[in-house]
Amino acid sequence: MTEKEKQQAGELYNGNDRELMTERATAKKLCMEYNAITYNDYQKKERILDRLLALRGENTWIEANFFCDYGYNIIIGDNFYSNHNLVILDCADVIFGDNVFIGPNCGFYTASHPIDAEQRNSGLEYSKPIKIGSNVWIGGNVCVMPGVTIGDNTVIGGGSVVVDDIPSGVVAAGNPCKVIRPITEEDKM
């Protein structure tokens, strides 16, 4: 089994593997190009995103700066907006539903490292997928950690560290992120 196959299977793998390092370098180069594009050169931005991401829906807008590890593990639904400084460590799948809005300085981290120092120092790592439902708003400075699923119609408050799954239809916030309350009809302005 190759290191990439181990990575995709959620097993321990060597992140310093030549194939994985080459693929990361390709993605980093595309991210650099994307971040250097003139703000209103929409067609060029779309062309780079089409080369970088596995799949994206209609109306995708990612403000610079944007960084990812591979790109080919990222799937974005329709009507996606991310403010500045989005980081997606996509060693495993990161899937966003439709109508997802992300504040500035947010990170989605599928990558993790063993607790055991000997394993960690040998270059071994593992990853767990992240899934974000539809109609989700994620406030600024939020970190979503490996293996997390956030349900549909949910709001994650700014500054949260999401370490466990969050259900649909709630407002959640904090470190660690916890459900604060359900979203109700009274939330309509």
Kindly list the catalytic residues.
Answer: 113
173: Cβ–Cβ under 8 A, 6 or more apart, which residues? Answer: 139, 156, 157, 158, 159, 160, 180
CA–CA dist 158, 69 (Å, integer): 24
CA–CA dist 161, 73 (Å, integer): 22
CB atoms within 10 A of CB 91: 26
Say whether 42 sits in a helix, a strand or coil: helix
CB 61 within 8 A of CB 80: yes
CA–CA dist 148, 137 (Å, integer): 15
